[in-house]
A = this chain, B = another copy of it.
Amino acid sequence: MSDPPFRSDPVEGPQGPPAVDVATLRAAFSGRLLTDAADMAPFLTDWRRKWTGRALAVVQPDTTDDVARAVGWCRAHRVAVVPQGGNTGLSGGATPDETGRAVVLSLARMNRVRSIDRENNTIVVEAGVTLQRLQEEAKQAGRLFPLSLAAEGTCTIGGNLASNAGGVQVLRYGNARDLCLGLEVVTAEGQVWNGLRGLRKDNTGYDLRDLFVGSEGTLGVITAAALKLFPQPAAQVAAFIAVPSPREAVGLLQAAQQRIGPALTAFELMSDTCIGLVEKHVAAARLPLAERSAWYVLLEVSDSQDEAHAQAAVEALLEGALEERLATDAALSASLSQFKALWSLREDISESQGAEGKTVKHDISLPVSRIPDFIETTGAAIRREFPGLRLVVFGHLGDGNLHYNLSPPEGATAADAARFVGLEGALNRRVHDAVVENGGSISAEHGLGVLRRDESARYKSDVELNLMRAVKAALDPLNLMNPGKVLP
């Protein structure tokens, strides 16, 4: 490949790498280069304030060529590039390390919708477009962009793709990877790869697109994407269903997939502990059922016909489920406000748990068939080994994805809370060992970043790690693209 525009490689001094002068970068990015500590601060810490790093500068490109120029400068000066979108990640993937020898590349200003093709059901957007705006642009064109997750008001599609984000409708529409048809990427060499194809079928060589998707900025910088759109559903209905245990929830999932097919767009599981926390912390929240149950399912049907058809389908499903004792009670949404209220019970779990203090989280996936055993066995082990801890278990059962979270005992003293924090590593190990024994993944939709980097490497085979290292070395031989993320 040819060389990037910047060629003035710094000379290694006897004391290690020399100081880097950002003057040439500042000249190229006048007014869009932050070096002041206060200006840079929001870009150097993740939103949960778990990780803080240092950087030479924050660069704010407006165009793909700007990105290529910035990456070229970093390459010439042997400075790391840390791409950042909405900075809403949960694994520390967008925060620079503490060496200070990095430039944070904020894609936030690259927020143009480049084109929309209703007949082809595709949209081409730049990396800095927020997920919510993307949803709105699709809607204005009479189409659906189905990726949806808690941070959608702030997170960007570039970050969603870099971390292969999931969310609530993966069951029907897939994760960010599945929604992506093509990419524009600035390579580690500072070159622009235009792979923005809006094609459902293209078998002309290696799948570079999927290599960059999910690579968390460690192989190149995603600057734009061609994404799938779908028809807007004619109607949506939600049902909040009491189930005796996760085993019946899996049975209900099977029945729903058989009877409702692809109109089943979400299937969420949550324990009564979760709903109790929402009721405690969200004033408007109330259980829509007469009696409590140990577990609940929230399912969503998106119908191409109309609301009555959707309701009839859910009612037929529930009738069978009550007969077969897969469910004990259910509430069905009959209006948009009821639909939203049922969804809020699920969506408010994370924040309600956060209001109880420190949380130990696990974003895991398992074969759906293993989930009932996993919940039973792992729950029993944790209750035995770590008495008093609260299990806050919920997630996207339809995708085999659980947010297997833990909270300190109710009314914990400061000493209890401190002890709980100290248990994080042991709890992670306990949960992740059980996940891997059951053929699962220790990071289902949040990526590895730095949070799960070493833990993931611990469970992967040498063959797999070596394949990953070979890919990394091939596409980023100087190890300048978001170094220290994904791979140890």
Contacts and interface: CB of A to CB of B under 8 A. Distances in A.
Interface in A366-397: 366-370, 396
Contact of A460 (B170, B204, B365): B204
Interface residues of A, number: 94
A424 interface: no
A261 B471 CA distance: 39
Contact of A200 (B199, B261, B400): B400
A174 to B, nearest CB: 8
Given A231-B258, A400-B120, A471-B471, A203 B193 contact: no
Given A122-B367, A231-B261, A201 B175 contact: yes
A193 B486 CA distance: 19
B400 A365 contact: no
Interface string A1-12: 100000000000
Nearest to A142: B258
A199 B367 contact: yes
A215 B199 CA distance: 18
A28 interface: no
A117 to B, nearest CB: 5
Contacts of A233: 261
A425 interface: no
A474 interface: yes
B208 A214 contact: no
A15 interface: no
Interface of A: 1, 117-122, 163-164, 166, 170-172, 175, 177-178, 187, 191-195, 197-208, 210-211, 213-215, 219, 231, 233, 250, 254, 257-263, 302-305, 313, 365-370, 396, 399-401, 439-448, 452, 456, 460-464, 466-468, 470-475, 486-487
Contacts of A441: 197, 199, 201-204
Contacts of A260: 304
Nearest to A181: B367
Enumerate the 9 nearest inter-chain pairs by beta-carbon distance, A residue then B residue, closest first: A261-B304, A474-B474, A119-B369, A262-B262, A210-B210, A202-B441, A201-B444, A120-B367, A470-B474
A417 B143 CA distance: 48
B262 A205 contact: no
A164 B200 contact: no
Contacts of A177: 207
A368 B121 contact: yes
A228 to B, nearest CB: 11
A185 to B, nearest CB: 9
A198 B367 contact: yes
A475 B470 contact: yes
Contacts of A313: 305
Name the residue among A203, A215, A366 with the largest chain B CB count within 10 angstroms: A203
A401 B120 CA distance: 12
Contacts of A203: 163-164, 166, 214, 441, 443-448
15 contacts: A117-B367, A117-B369, A118-B369, A191-B463, A193-B467, A199-B400, A201-B445, A206-B211, A206-B219, A207-B213, A208-B468, A261-B262, A262-B262, A262-B304, A471-B474
